[in-house]
Amino acid sequence: MMFLRPCVSSSREKRTYVFHSRRFSDTLAHQCVYTLIGEVGCRVGDTSQLGPVSMHAAREYSYGQATFALRHKAERMHAMTTTARNTVTLVETLYTLYNHHQSDPAWLDTSLAFFAEDCEVMDVPSGMISRGPDGYKQLILFFEEGFPGSHIEITNLFATEDQAVVEFIGRGTNTGPLHMPTGDLPPTGRSVELRFCDVYRIENGKIVSYRSYYDALSFMQQLGFIPLQE
């Protein structure tokens, strides 16, 4: 079952989704137990020839097996929920660190520690693929150095135990150079508001895959490098 945890930001509602196991009601719990009893009972075999004592013992055995299976399932669901929340915390920390990039000198080094050495980093609009913490550093500094006063607003976050998807809005003014593959472009002084979608895959508490999606055409149009389409 998916649990919705709303967190209201300054101007928009931010939603965080994680897999969450709610406590069964008594009725539903009994239904699950009886279903499992039926499944276990089928494995016991034909009990029609058993006496009252043997029938009671078979039922007690089936009930015990069903209760154990239900408890085991609940423990697995709880473990998955805890891991999913850890995933949420990890990715949220990345954006919090970026929003403190002007006041926290260690923001970048702290961010890079979340990435595995063989992590695949992909800037989807350009198709550029790089590896490891340095790959993320190159991508994030493109925006941080080109838009020194920029900040991020998360609008949606969905996470499982090993994946996360984050929608956010980046806002800033281009007062620094833009390090393009063809060479640096001088600051335009223009303000930009751009929507992003970042996709993460996580293993053993480290990011092993990071993909960033955004509208590159809108980005270039807002900077004045490409005329707006009428």
Total residues belonging to the chain: 230
74: pLDDT strictly greater than 80:
no
pLDDT in tens, 164-179: 999 999 999 999 999 9
Q: Between the CA atoms of 88, 94, 99 and 103, what dihedral angle is there, to the nearest 10 degrees?
A: 130
Q: What is the CATH number of domain 1-230?
A: 3.10.450.50
Domain residue ranges of the chain, discontinuous segments joined by +: 1-230
- pLDDT at res. 83: 86
Q: What are the residue ranges of helices labelled H in the chain?
A: 26-44, 52-99, 107-112, 132-146, 216-223
Number of alpha carbons in the 13 Å side-chain half-sphere of residue 198? 26
pLDDT in tens, 116-173: 999 999 999 999 999 999 999 999 999 999 999 999 999 999 999 899 999 999 999 9
Gap between the Cα atoms of 17 and 79, Å rounded? 16
Residue 167 is encoded by which pair of tokens? 């929608």
**pTM, entire model:** 0.68
Residue 118: how many CB atoms within 10 A of its CB? 10
Provide mean pLDDT across the span 100-109. 97
- pLDDT at res. 121: 98
